[in-house]
C-alpha cells in the first residue's frame, strides 16, 4: 500500500463527535513561584519558514545512510524514505483542513517536553484551524488503553516553558508484540487520528518506526513522526545535532558540581565522587567537566577503547590524590558517567550474559541470588562476578527496564570506585608509598536534572521541534524524526525538516535476540569536546582550576547561550548565542 493511498482522507477529523473525549483540566497557577509565572510569559522564537507558506522538499544532502538489508526487510515501506527540509513557498501561511493529531511522551522526562506539545498545538491552530490535539496519558500504554484527552489552548497555557511531562505524563512501556500493534492500530483508527507524534529517546523512536510501518501495513491513515528526547545527549547525528533536555540537565548538574568544588576547596578534606546521569554515553559527564574543571572526569568510551580496568582506574585516581597531597591539597572532585560499569573490560560481557540469563530464566529463580547465577555463567564472567563486592553483584542482577537495559541508575558505581580507591590507598600506605589523608564522599546527580525549568535554548528548540513535527504530519510524512539544525545561527534562521528513522538504525542484541534499534551516539574520542577535555586534564588534576557556572540564566547576556559541547561540535568551539 502506498503512502498516498494511506494518507487519503486528511482532515477528516472535522465534525467528529468529541463529547466522549475528556478535556485536560486547566491547572491553577496560584501555587506557582514568581519565576514560574515569569516563565509563562517567555515566547520562543520560531524558524522563519513557519511565518508563511512552506512545502516539504526531499533533501538527502546531509548524507543519511540507507538502512542495510535486514533493516530494509523489516521496514519495507520506510526504508527508501528521503530526508526532507521545509522550505518557504512564498506568500502568506495557507489555512488547511482541520487535523486530529495524537502525542505521546515516552521514557524518562527531559526539560522542554511541554514546549514540544505547545509547538504542536500552536502549529495546528495557526495552519489548520479547528484541529484537535489528543494527549495519550502515561506513555505508550495510554495508546493501548485508549486513554487520551484533548489538549486545549487553555489547558496548555500553564505548562508553557515549565519543566516536567506532567500535562499528560510519561511511561516506559513498549508497543512491540503483534497483539499490541494491532490494538494500537485499532485505537488510532477509532480515534480517527491523522497523525501520531512520539516524543522519546532511541528506543522510543525505534518504536515510532515500528508503529509507522504497521500503520501502513494495516491501512491506517495516521502518519508517525518522532521527536528526539533524552537528557543523555546520545540521540544525535547529522541534521539532529542534539536531543532536547541535554542543555538544561547539564546546566543543573554543572551548578551542583560547581557548588561541591567550592565546598571541597573550603574544607580541604574530602574527595567527592560524583556519578552523573547518562545511561550509556558520557556526554553529560564530559559537558559538566568542561563547565566546571574537576580533578578527573572518567569517560566510558575511553575506558572501553583503551580497555582500562577497574584496578587501573583506582590507580589513576590514587596517583592524583598522592600528587595533590604533595602540593598540600587534600580535596578534589571526580566525575563518573552513570554508564561506566558497562564499559569496563569484561564487565560488558558479564552484563550481557546476566541480561540474557534473566530474560531467559529469570522467572524460574524469582529474585536471583549469586548462587543461582554463578553456575550458569561462562568461566570468565563467573570469575569477575565472584570478585565483585556482594552488594554490587546484587545490583547487577536487578530487573531490566522494558527495553532490556541494565537499570544503571540503581547501580552505585561511585561507591564501587570509592571502595577500590580506598583499597589502593591502603596498600600504598602499607608499603610506605603514601602517608597523607584521604576521605571520600559519594554523590549521585540524576533526577534533579530532568524536570528543571527548561533553559531558553531547550524552550526554543522544543517549540520549534513541535512545530516541525506537526508540519511534517501535515505534509503527509511518516517514519521521520523531526530535525532542527543550523543551531549556530539565530533561531529565526534555523533549518527544519525530518530524518528517516530507519537511517539511524542498526541491528542490536536485546533480550537474547537481534532487534532493530536506533544507535546511540557515543562520545567520539576524536571529537572536539573530548579533545578539549584531554588537553586540560593535567592542569585540572594538579591545580584547583574550579569553575562555578551558577544557576540557569533566563535573562541577560548569558541567557541565550548553549552547551560547550554544542559550541565545539557545530561552531568550531566559538560560543553560540541564538
Q: What is the CATH number of the domain that holds 537?
A: 3.40.50.460
Same domain, 103 and 239: yes
Q: Where are the alpha helices (DSSP H) in 191-239?
A: 202-218
Domain end point (choices 464, 480, 510): 510
Residue 537 is placed in which grid cell? 586534564
Residue 422 in marked binding region: no
Contact in structure between 334 and 299 (CB atoms under 8 Å): no
Residue 174 within any structural domain of the chain:
yes
pLDDT for 15: 43
Same domain, 213 and 349: no
Supply angle C-alpha 529, 530, 532, rounded to 5: 65
Residue 50 within any structural domain of the chain:
no
User: Is residue 513 pLDDT above 90, yes or no?
Assistant: no
Model's pTM, two decimal places?
0.91
Residue 520 within any structural domain of the chain:
no
Tens digit of each residue's pLDDT (9 = 90 or more) over 456-480: 999 999 999 999 999 999 999 999 9
Residue 45 within any structural domain of the chain:
no
Q: In which domain, by residue range, is 128 found?
A: 3-15+59-245+454-510
Same domain, 447 and 460: no
Tens digit of each residue's pLDDT (9 = 90 or more) over 75-114: 999 998 999 999 999 999 989 999 999 999 999 999 999 9
Residue 17 in marked binding region: no
User: Is residue 1 pLDDT above 70, yes or no?
Assistant: no
Same domain, 493 and 393: no
Residue 546 in marked binding region: no
- Between strands 132-136 and 148-150, the pairing is antiparallel
Structural domain count of the chain:
2
d(CA 257, CA 450) in angstroms, rounded, equals 16
Same domain, 506 and 540: no
Residue 450 in marked binding region: yes
User: Is residue 387 pLDDT above 80, yes or no?
Assistant: no
Same domain, 294 and 413: yes
Lowest mean pLDDT among 141-150, 224-233, 382-391: 382-391
Residue 286 within any structural domain of the chain:
yes
Q: Out of 232, 234, 247, 458, pick the active-site residue.
A: 232
Lowest mean pLDDT among 14-28, 304-318, 322-336: 14-28
d(CA 177, CA 359) in angstroms, rounded, equals 16
Contacts of 245 (CB under 8 A, 6+ apart): 109, 110, 111, 112, 113, 229, 230, 231, 450, 454, 458
First-to-last CA distance in the chain?
43
pLDDT for 66: 87
Same domain, 228 and 300: no
Q: Where are the alpha helices (DSSP H) in 7-111?
A: 34-40, 69-74
d(CA 285, CA 577) in angstroms, rounded, equals 23
Tens digit of each residue's pLDDT (9 = 90 or more) over 495-504: 999 999 999 9
pLDDT for 17: 45
Residue 449 in marked binding region: yes
d(CA 105, CA 539) in angstroms, rounded, equals 43
Residue 414 in marked binding region: no
Residue 301 in marked binding region: no
d(CA 64, CA 79) in angstroms, rounded, equals 12
- pLDDT over 70 percentage in the chain: 94
> How high does pLDDT run on average in the chain?
92
Residue 202 is placed in which grid cell? 532511541
Residue 277 in marked binding region: yes
Same domain, 352 and 431: yes
Same domain, 212 and 260: no
User: Is residue 12 pLDDT above 60, yes or no?
Assistant: no
Lowest mean pLDDT among 132-136, 168-172, 363-367, 516-520: 363-367
Same domain, 391 and 252: yes
Residue 458 within any structural domain of the chain:
yes
Same domain, 269 and 333: yes
User: Is residue 348 pLDDT above 90, yes or no?
Assistant: no
Tens digit of each residue's pLDDT (9 = 90 or more) over 104-133: 999 999 999 999 999 999 999 999 999 999
Residue 381 is placed in which grid cell? 564472567
- pLDDT over 90 percentage in the chain: 79
Same domain, 185 and 98: yes
Q: In a 3-state reduction of DSSP, which class is residue 59?
A: coil
Contact in structure between 226 and 205 (CB atoms under 8 Å): yes
Residue 377, Cα to own-chain centre: how many angstroms? 32
Tens digit of each residue's pLDDT (9 = 90 or more) over 291-303: 999 999 999 999 9
Told to judge if 348 belongs to the known catalytic residues of this protein, a careful annotator would answer no
Residue 448 in marked binding region: yes
Residue 338 in marked binding region: yes
Q: What is the CATH number of the domain that holds 68?
A: 3.40.50.450
Residue 278 in marked binding region: yes
Instruction: For residue 10, name the pLDDT band (cuts at 50, 70, 90).
Output: very low
Average pLDDT over residues 360-380: 75
pLDDT for 16: 47
What's the number of CA atoms in the CB half-sphere (13 Å) around residue 170? 23
Residue 115 within any structural domain of the chain:
yes
Residue 32 within any structural domain of the chain:
no
Amino acid at each position: 500500500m502506498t503512502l498516498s493511498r494511506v494518507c487519503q482522507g486528511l482532515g477528516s477529523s472535522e465534525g467528529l463527535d468529541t463529547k466522549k473525549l475528556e478535556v485536560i483540566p486547566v491547572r491553577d497557577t496560584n501555587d506557582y513561584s514568581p519565576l514560574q509565572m515569569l516563565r509563562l510569559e517567555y515566547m520562543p522564537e520560531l524558524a522563519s519558514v513557519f511565518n508563511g507558506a512552506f512545502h516539504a522538499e526531499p533533501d538527502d544532502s546531509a548524507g543519511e545512510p540507507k538502512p542495510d538489508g535486514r533493516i530494509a526487510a523489516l521496514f519495507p515501506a520506510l526504508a527508501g524514505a528521503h530526508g526532507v527540509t521545509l522550505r518557504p513557498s512564498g506568500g502568506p501561511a495557507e489555512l488547511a483542513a482541520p487535523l486530529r493529531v495524537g502525542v505521546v511522551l515516552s521514557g524518562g522526562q527531559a526539560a522542554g517536553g511541554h514546549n514540544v506539545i505547545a509547538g504542536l498545538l500552536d502549529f495546528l491552530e495557526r495552519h489548520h484551524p479547528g484541529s484537535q490535539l489528543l494527549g495519550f496519558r502515561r506513555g505508550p500504554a495510554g495508546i493501548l488503553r485508549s486513554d487520551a484527552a484533548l489538549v486545549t489552548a487553555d489547558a496548555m497555557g500553564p505548562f508553557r516553558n515549565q519543566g516536567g511531562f506532567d500535562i499528560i505524563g510519561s511511561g516506559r512501556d513498549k508497543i512491540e508484540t503483534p497483539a499490541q500493534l494491532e490494538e494500537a492500530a485499532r485505537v488510532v483508527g477509532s480515534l480517527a487520528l491523522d497523525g501520531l507524534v512520539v516524543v522519546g529517546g532511541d528506543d522510543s523512536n525505534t518504536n515510532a518506526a515500528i508503529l509507522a510501518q504497521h500503520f501502513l501495513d494495516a491501512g491506517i491513515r495516521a502518519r508517525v513522526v518522532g521527536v528526539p528526547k533524552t537528557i543523555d545527549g546520545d540521540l544525535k547525528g547529522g541534521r539532529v545535532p542534539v536531543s532536547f533536555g541535554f542543555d538544561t540537565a547539564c546546566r543543573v548538574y554543572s551548578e551542583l558540581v560547581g557548588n561541591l568544588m567550592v565546598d571541597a576547596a573550603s574544607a580541604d578534606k574530602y574527595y567527592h565522587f560524583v556519578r552523573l546521569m547518562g545511561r550509556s554515553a558520557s556526554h553529560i559527564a564530559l559537558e559538566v567537566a568542561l563547565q566546571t574543571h574537576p580533578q578527573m572526569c572518567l569517560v566510558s568510551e575511553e575506558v572501553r577503547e583503551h580497555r582500562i580496568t577497574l584496578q587501573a582506574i583506582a590507580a589513576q585516581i590514587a596517583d592524583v590524590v598522592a600528587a595533590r597531597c604533595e602540593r598540600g591539597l587534600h580535596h578534589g572532585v571526580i566525575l563518573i558517567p552513570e554508564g561506566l560499569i558497562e564499559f569496563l573490560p569484561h564487565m560488558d560481557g558479564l552484563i550481557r550474559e546476566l541480561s540474557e540469563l534473566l530474560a531467559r530464566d529469570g522467572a524460574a529463580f524469582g529474585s536471583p541470588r549469586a548462587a543461582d547465577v554463578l553456575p550458569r555463567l561462562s568461566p570468565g564472567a563467573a570469575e569477575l562476578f565472584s570478585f565483585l563486592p556482594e552488594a554490587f553483584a546484587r545490583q547487577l542482577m536487578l530487573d531490566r527496564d522494558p527495553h532490556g537495559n541494565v537499570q544503571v541508575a540503581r547501580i552505585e558505581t561511585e561507591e564501587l570506585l570509592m571502595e577500590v580507591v580506598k583499597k589502593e590507598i591502603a596498600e600504598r600506605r602499607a608499603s610506605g608509598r603514601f602517608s597523607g589523608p584521604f576521605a571520600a564522599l559519594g554523590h549521585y546527580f540524576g533526577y534533579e536534572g530532568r524536570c528543571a525549568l527548561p533553559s531558553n535554548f531547550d524552550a526554543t528548540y522544543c517549540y520549534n521541534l513541535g512545530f516541525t513535527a506537526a508540519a511534517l504530519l501535515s505534509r503527509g510524512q511518516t517514519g521521520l524524526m523531526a530535525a532542527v539544525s543550523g543551531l549556530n545561527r539565530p533561531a529565526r534562521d534555523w533549518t527544519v525538516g525530518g530524518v528517516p528513522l530507519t537511517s539511524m538504525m542498526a541491528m542490536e542484541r536485546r533480550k537474547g535476540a537481534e532487534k532493530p534499534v536506533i544507535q546511540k551516539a557515543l562520545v567520539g574520542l576524536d571529537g572536539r569536546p573530548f579533545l578539549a577535555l584531554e588537553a586540560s586534564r593535567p592542569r585540572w588534576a594538579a591545580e584547583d582550576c574550579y569553575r562555578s557556572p551558577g544557576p540557569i540564566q533566563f535573562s541577560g547576556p548569558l541567557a541565550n547561550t548553549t552547551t560547550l559541547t554544542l559550541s565545539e561540535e557545530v561552531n568550531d568551539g566559538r560560543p553560540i548565542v541564538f
